[in-house]
Amino acid sequence: IRRPPRSTLDRSSAASDVYKRQDLTHMLAGPYTTMILADLGAEVVKIEQPKTGDITRNLLKDDPKYSLDGIGAYHLTLGRNKKSVELDLKSDQGLKLFKELVSVADVVVDNFSQGVTKRLGIDHENLKDVNPKIITCSISGFGDTEVNRPAYDNLIQGYAGAMSITGTDKENPVKSGIPIADLGAGLYAVIGILSAIQSREKNDSGEHVDISMLDTQVSLLTYMATMHFLSGENPEPIGNQHMNHVPFNSYRTSDGFIQIGVVAEDFWPSLIEALDLKQLDTEENKLRIGRLKNRENIDQAVQKVFITKTTEHWLKILQEHRVPCGPINTLSETFQDADLLKRKMIIEVLQDSGASVKMPGNPVKISNHDEEFRRSPKLGEHTSEIFKNWLDKDISVDQD
């Protein structure tokens, strides 16, 4: 990834002008990293194996429900705003051309298994000989110090202890509904890359960013990890309840679900009034410690009320009483949220056929930054363009 001269910029960028990044990523953690950077204005070039490309190109492409114009949901989303170059890094010629691009790039991102970049000769130690200012970022399951353990999102959630505290009971551990280990690593990689760019502005030298999926999941344990170290106890899953607050749970309504969170003490009398729960208005329940003791009775009483009317009915009443509450939406309900729509978090990306596909937008909203979303690239679509623009080199790669 390279930053072009200011005169070539056609839009403002959150990534300190428009940095050029070479993208060696595949599947989810790495492509999510580079998608965010591309959304923020970086020129991201996806380096792909000739003829086959990144594995995500083929995922769901033949599924009529989850594809458009023969392109699956993975590539439609994760490939947006990027460019594609075909290079065989296992060939002498491909490796030579790759290093020529590195010589004028800013960042190289990969999420190969640990040790692969070194075997290919494209690890930081090798690439800094080509470009002393190059920033490299490697995302792996366990970081640069581990080579033996396989790493997929669910496995990392298990290793990190996240699954042991998710679900309703310790006999049935549950993984997160979204691939939080992959996505969390992607977010930390963005933080690391932007920090390294800022550091380079001061030190005039590149750095290597080493992101471990396990590290990032353990970081997300935050205060729960500290509680474990203080007590020596292993926390158990408690479903949608909270260890410190009551009532704090999800409840059935006549047509769905609702959540409430009585976190501050002054929310409790408001809840009593909103739901007309005079039988719970005791001296003991006025304090959090008392409500914790009476959690089961309180939850049962609250549930008995909520089941009588719709979610919308109860949301209106609770909001009028300023009790923290919310629905448990399906995706179709979420994507009708007025604030999401106002903030352009549901975007449409135009495809070559003239059809468009909806997907989540960029959550990083920065003043004076113009958002732009371009379709995911065809395999090798920008090979000639990138070599011409980056190196003033005419090159053609056989893509048949």
pLDDT at 399: 37
Residue 14, pLDDT score? 44
Comparing CA positions, the residue from 106, 139, 83, 77 lying closest to residue 15 is 106
| Catalytic residue from among 228, 242, 313, 369 | 242
Q: Which of 16-25, 71-80, 101-110, 136-145 has the lowest mean pLDDT?
A: 16-25
DSSP state letter for 377: P
pLDDT of residue 30: 95
- Residue 6 confidence (pLDDT): 45
Which tokens hold the place of 85?
């170059």
Residue carrying the six token digits 């000989």: 129
pLDDT confidence of residue 370:
85
242 is catalytic: yes
User: What's the confidence (pLDDT) of residue 172?
Assistant: 94
Lowest mean pLDDT among 141-150, 152-161, 223-232: 141-150
Residue 395: band (very low, low, confident or very high) from pLDDT cuts 50, 70, 90:
confident
What's the Cα-to-Cα distance from 250 to each of 32, 208, 238, rounded to whole Å?
31, 44, 12
| Contacts with 43 (C-beta within 8 Å, 6 or more apart), sequence order | 1, 2, 4, 18, 19, 20, 21, 83
Q: Is the pLDDT of residue 293 over 70?
A: yes
* Mean pLDDT across 321-336: 97
H-helix or E-strand spanning residue 22: strand 20-24
Mean pLDDT of 141-165: 91
- As a whole number of angstroms, the longest Cα–Cα distance in the chain is 81
The tens digit of pLDDT for each residue in 181-208 reads 999 999 999 999 999 999 999 999 999 9
Q: For the chain, what is the mean pLDDT?
A: 93
Q: Tell me what pLDDT residue 276 has.
A: 97
The pLDDT of residue 7 is 39
More confident residue, 18 or 67: 67
For 22-50, what is each residue's pLDDT tens digit? 888 998 999 999 999 999 999 999 999 99
Q: What is the mean pLDDT of residues 122-141?
A: 96
How large is the average pLDDT for residues 300-328?
98
**pLDDT, average across residues 13-28:** 72
Residue 123 has pLDDT above 90, yes or no: yes
